A and B are shown apart, each in its own frame.
Chain A
Amino acid sequence: MIPALGLIGGLLLGLFLHPDVPLWLQPYLPVAVIAALDAVFGAVRSMLDGIFSDKVFVVSFLSNVVVAALIVFMGDQLGVGSQLSTAVVVVLGLRIFSNVAAIRRHLFHA
């Protein structure tokens, strides 16, 4: 509940503040957001599976974000940044889809 409220609060904050993304962060923010979304959906799924742990969520959230940003950073350094971004987004997207599918099965039995 509280994390959900935090999410909504963050959304509202962003809506009202309209901050500019610093240049150095621009390549990493989209991937980091996708990674965090993956962590959130994974958390919801684990909740429904009954194996949710706050600590695991925090660690997976942070590690997801950091690893995604690191992969993109590495790709940038190697000259394949855009391709690696695509790869990360595809993988995370697949995970999000599978998590959402699991959540759906839990909640709707369908």
Chain B
Amino acid sequence: MSVGSGESGWRTLARMGRPRATKANALAAVLAAALGFAMVTQVHQNRSSGLDNLSQDDLVALLDGEAQQAVRLGHESDTLTYTRDQLRGSSGDQAALSAAQQRLTQLGILAGTLPAKGPGIRVTVADPKAGVQSANLLDAVEELRDAGAEAIQVNSVRVVASTYFSTGSDNRLQVDGTAISPPYVLLAIGDPHTMSTAMAIPGGVVSTLRQLGATTVVTSSTAVSVSALRARSGDRYAQPDTTSTG
């Protein structure tokens, strides 16, 4: 330490700092300029670049963080999508309700609790010789069902799945225990052409009835009204099985 006083230090600095036109001084200036340039450039680079200056470990950690964030957001998105679908399901409920309503109507027609009308045929069986048996009526009904009849009525009795034909003690035909008398009128809603063809096939209902001495008239109509109703009765034993589907 050759410096004795404060002035000496500053003076030394000033003396050394005096411009000297030496080659080395110029070179030092160039180097200093390069240093300044490099410093500013580096600072600028450091500020402008985002991930470039991070190490591999930092990048891996960053990637992990991003992945976890993505997973979390994915879960959130799923939840929100589910909720949205639930909320949007109000219209789906509407569709399900109308479908259920439609199905209820169909089942009502099948079960005979609802009146039905539509295109169909009217089969009128005149039985002057009283030769028609309950089996013949059953055959006729089965034939109509095979031909696609959706609603059938015999005289004033609606034909449903559990309908039975029998003969009463007075030799009158009975449908579901209700005595009916000739002429027997079967009303069937369905495709008129198919059903009338089914009635008229050789060896079928009409020819069999003719052999029994009955005359059968089949008329097609675009508007047959099956208006006989059947009382709604709950099943006593059979309950809907909700545990299994199909």
Binding site for B on A (CB under 8 A): 1-15, 18-21, 26, 29-30, 32-33, 36-37, 40, 43-44, 47-50, 52-55, 57-58, 61-62, 82, 105-109
Contacts and interface: CB of A to CB of B under 8 A. Distances in A.
Nearest to A83: B55
B29 A50 contact: no
Interface string B15-39: 0111110101111111111111111
A32 B31 CA distance: 12
A13 B37 CA distance: 6
Contacts of A15: 40
Closest A-B pairs by Cβ, 3 of them? A10-B36, A14-B40, A54-B24
Contact of B6 (A2, A6, A108): A108
Given A9-B36, A14-B41, A30-B46, 6 more contacts: A2-B25, A4-B17, A6-B28, A33-B35, A33-B38, A108-B6
Interface of B: 1-3, 6, 9-10, 12-13, 16-20, 22, 24-42, 44-46, 52-53, 55
Nearest to A81: B55
23 contacts: A2-B25, A3-B31, A3-B32, A5-B29, A6-B28, A6-B32, A10-B36, A14-B36, A14-B39, A26-B52, A33-B38, A33-B42, A40-B35, A48-B3, A49-B2, A50-B12, A54-B25, A55-B24, A58-B31, A61-B28, A105-B1, A107-B13, A109-B9
Contact of A29 (B20, B31, B38): B38
Per DSSP, chain A at the interface is helix
A77 to B, nearest CB: 16
A62 B34 CA distance: 11
A19 B39 CA distance: 11
Contacts of B30: 6
A110 B60 CA distance: 47
A106 B3 CA distance: 7
Contacts of A53: 24
Given A2-B25, A52-B16, A7 B38 contact: no
A2 B29 contact: yes
